[in-house]
Amino acid sequence: MKQTVYLSIGIFFGIVMYKSEAASWFRIYEMFQFGSFHMYGIIGSALVLGIIGIQIIKKKNLKAVGNQQMQLTPKNKSIARYAIGGIIFGLGWALAGACPGPMYVLVGSGYLSILVVIFGALLGTFLYGILKNKLPH
Amino acid sequence: MNWIYNPWPWYVAGPLIALIMFLLLFAGKQFGMSSNLRTMCAVGGAGKAADFFKFDWKKERWNLLVVVGAVIGGFIASHFMSNNIVKINPNVAEQLSTDYGITSANEAYMPPELFATEQLSNPFVLLVLLVGGLLVGFGARYAGGCTSGHAISGLSNLQLPSLIAVIGFFIGGLVMIHALFPLIF
């Protein structure tokens, strides 16, 4: 049952990413060229509703299914890891024209080349795991 | 039937993404599309190489199901709900064509110059895709999240670390497009 829920959420996410064109290389390029409000509108409107919703969850102390706590744990305080990691991520986001979610969506859309990007992302994740203790956090 | 094939505007897509975040929160999970990469590494046995991958990945199977769903969603949307053409700002399209010879804007969903399967035999294109992915994977884990984990989940929860990360995403992206693209392409 739970499996079906996660699978359905994934399918819904995939359709939204593709239909909103957030999975398109062109939209990412256009965003970084400030050529359209489209991507900013997507992220911005999701964010405004997200902030309002999470405030409501906190004020009313709403619980997740099975009466468990919501996964809203604060992120660890640091500047270096978020700034450096963020910039590295941004370089890749613009170069490949895809962030992790859309990569999977594009596999389903039949772009085989995106598998190279996913392989690179796995490699990058693996490299981080190996180098983690040597990096400033 | 045009409403099926036309792209969804931002004011439809944005709220639906917020909805996805809340669905996962109420399921007891957090919306983030890059931690599954760590799970996949762990499944593949990366725990032998680094402690970072030594965790009970079976508990994280849910995020692999979301990935499988995303693939299916991409299939459904591209095959039955789209004409697979993305219209962008004509000035940007023209700039892509004159500066980089990418002439497929407003004719395709992804530029065949980079994403046509035949192009995989071009070492330059292969390298661009591989390095792009590598930076995304490395940066996402270093920053502890990607666009969904920081720009949507983290910022919605008013997390300062996520704000730093998102500013980083945009600095990186702008540097790539404005400073490095002219050197690379």
Task: Give me the amino acid identity at A74.
Answer: P
Under-50 pLDDT residues of chain B: none
Residue A42: its chain B contacts at CB < 8 A? 10, 13-14, 17
A96 to chain B: nearest residue by CA?
Answer: B132
pLDDT in 10s for each residue of chain A, 137 residues: 789 999 999 999 999 999 999 999 999 999 999 999 999 999 999 999 999 999 999 999 999 999 999 999 889 999 999 999 999 999 999 999 999 999 999 999 999 999 999 999 999 999 999 999 999 99
The answer for A 7-26 residues in CB contact with B (under 8 A) is: 7-26
- Separation between Cα atoms, residue A107 and residue B72, nearest integer Å: 9
pLDDT at B127: 98
Q: Cα dist. B155→B68, B146, B158 in Å?
A: 26, 12, 5
Task: Give me the amino acid identity at A16.
Answer: V
Distance from CA of B98 to the nearest CA of A (A): 15
Distance from CA of A60 to the nearest CA of B (A): 14
- Separation between Cα atoms, residue B16 and residue A13, nearest integer Å: 8
pLDDT at B5: 87
DSSP string, B108-124: -SS-HHHHSGGGGGSHH
B171 to chain A: nearest residue by CA?
Answer: A87
Under an 8 A CB cutoff, do A129 and B41 touch?
yes
Each residue of A2-29: b (16+ CB within 10 Å) or e?
eeebbbbbbbbbbbbbbbbbbbbbbbbb
- Separation between Cα atoms, residue B149 and residue B165, nearest integer Å: 10
Distance from CA of A23 to the nearest CA of B (A): 9
